[in-house]
Amino acid sequence: MDARSSALARTARPGVLRRYPQLTISPAILVALLAGWWLATDVLGAPTYVLPPPQDVLRALIAGLTRSPWDRAGYWYHAGVTVWEAVLGFAIGSALGAVLGLVLSHWPILGKSWYPYIVGFQSLPKVALAPLMVVWFGFGLEGKVFITAIITFFPVLVNMMAGYQAVEPERIELARSCNASELHLLTKIIIPSCLPFLFAGLGVASVLSILGAVVGEFVGASAGLGMLLMQFNQSMEIAPLFAVILLLAVIGFLMSYAVSLVERRYCFWAQRSNATART
């Protein structure tokens, strides 16, 4: 009987692959991608101007990262510029999206009036707006931050409004029956209920913030990884071009991971409830 119970417990216990996919499956996917990349270049003979060998990209990445952070020929200086633009735009766009999402949801007449215009503005291609930002703000920091802010604004707004709609009306009615003030409802019920949706929007916006900064640098910039991409593309330096692309991917992952760490700190209760529901 004990042997049967232990066997059932072992089968019910999730395996390592299911419990830690980021430590098992993710590295396997990376190895498979690198192997396919190597086969395409060194075995199948893909042209280097189309797909450079991974070892060339690695050498270019190491060469750029081993330079001084103040050396404009290296990657650290330009990465710092791009990250600063992305962080500022992300902070501004996310704050505006969260606040406006609460306002438009709390007063439905405002939401119904303004939401179509917000969606219409969001549908505009941001690359087309980038030259206009240069006219308005010049080639400085402000234009890149503005583009990043309008790109990160919409995901946070939509998720905040979805979170507000997901608040259980019974909880609000119960609080009001206990003479709870509007401020108490907002801080103790509405905002905590919106946090899982808010962090979902912040996770998307954190990745889009890198895109916004790079788009702004494409149009006009004296520094930044987007400017390096344009330079390497014009000079047909494909290996450094791929190195910068990989660096941007790593930065985007780190920003998304930072948001997930904050979510674990301030929204742990939602993750625990989801885990309980799955079990």
Render pLDDT for 182-196 as a digit per residue (tens, 0 to 9). 787 887 888 888 889
Q: Give dist(CA 219, CA 237) in Å, integer.
A: 20
Of 9-23, 213-227, 247-261, the poorest mean pLDDT is in 9-23
Q: How confident is the model at residue 14 (pLDDT cuts 50, 70, 90)?
A: low
Tell me the domains of the chain and their CATH numbers: 22-49 (no CATH), 54-278 (1.10.3720.10)
Render pLDDT for 22-51 as a digit per residue (tens, 0 to 9). 677 778 888 888 888 888 888 787 788 888
Phi then psi for residue 188, to 5 deg, are -105, -20
The residue with greater pLDDT, 191 or 203, is 203
pTM of the shown model: 0.83
Assess whether pLDDT exceeds 80 at residue 56.
yes
